[in-house]
Amino acid sequence: MQTIILEIIGLAVIANLITHWFEPIQSVKYMIINKLPTWLQTPFICSKCAGLWIGIGYFLNPIYGALVALSAYLIDYLIYYINNKKEL
């Protein structure tokens, strides 16, 4: 049970790194994304969407995918909250 929780959190962190927080890939990511249709851009911009698809692809289970998406959202929210508090 503990390993599944660690895998869920790890995948949520990876989803956040891809969507927002890992700066070295952001410029390349946006060059590729701008060539895609709008409906295909969402999984690369939204941490919840990326978490859902990464979780479903990794676990092959939509429930675990939803848990990864929820964890990615919570991590994204916490990072945003901490960054805004630091600027005050």
In the predicted structure, residue 87 carries a pLDDT above the cut 70: no
AA identity, residue 58: Y
**Is-contact 13 20, C-beta < 8 A?**
no
pLDDT at 30: 87
Q: How does pLDDT run across 19-77, given as a tens digit for each residue?
A: 988 888 888 888 888 898 888 888 888 999 999 999 999 999 999 999 999 999 999 99
pLDDT reported for residue 16 = 93
Query: What pLDDT shows up at residue 6?
Result: 96
Q: How far apart are CA 65 and CA 19, in angstroms?
A: 16
Please tell me the predicted confidence (pLDDT) of residue 26.
87
Q: Which residues of 8-27 are buried (b: 16+ CB within 10 A; e: fewer)?
A: bbebbbbbbebbbeeeeeee
